[in-house]
Amino acid sequence: EGLFEAALDKDVAGIQAIKDEAVPGNIYQAVDLLLKEYKFTGDAAIRTLALENELPIAGRILDVGRKMHTQWCERVFAKYLPSKKSKKYSTSVGAFYAATDVYNWKLLKHDLKFSNEEIREILINTLQGLIQQKNK
């Protein structure tokens, strides 16, 4: 467990470095970077999710990942979110989080067998739908 704890502190998988490349508001780049991250870490994340209730370290790893992904969504999609003071802020962040979650990638890639190009198109369409909803 100590090894995993140390890995959490050091961004050993390089997830944060990939996420930091995202330019706020650029959904195309955001999706491309997300798919790059999931290519390297997606299957491991899904396996870790399966162990969350059995291994305390898995829960800690996932807590860090969830926090990172939430912060990434808040930064990358900031211009599409309501004011932080708005009652809809939390659910709006949640919508962008859900649209870009690793479970969606797993569903599209492994369960439904979409190609990487198709997954990219689906995620962009989903994000554009969220953005259009905000503008109504």
Of 4-8, 41-45, 101-105, the least confident: 4-8
Q: Please report the pLDDT score of residue 14 as a whole number.
A: 62
Residue 36 sits at the vertex; the CA angle it makes with 40 and 55, to the nearest 5 degrees, is 40
Give percent of the chain with pLDDT exceeding 70: 85
Answer yes or no: are the C-beta atoms of 25 and 74 closer than 8 Å.
no
CA gap 28, 26 in Å, rounded = 6
CA gap 60, 55 in Å, rounded = 9
Residue 76 sits at the vertex; the CA angle it makes with 72 and 77, to the nearest 5 degrees, is 115
Q: Over the stretch 59-102, which tens digit does the pLDDT of each residue have?
A: 888 888 899 899 999 999 999 999 999 999 999 999 999 999 99
Two structure tokens written together for 134: 């905000």
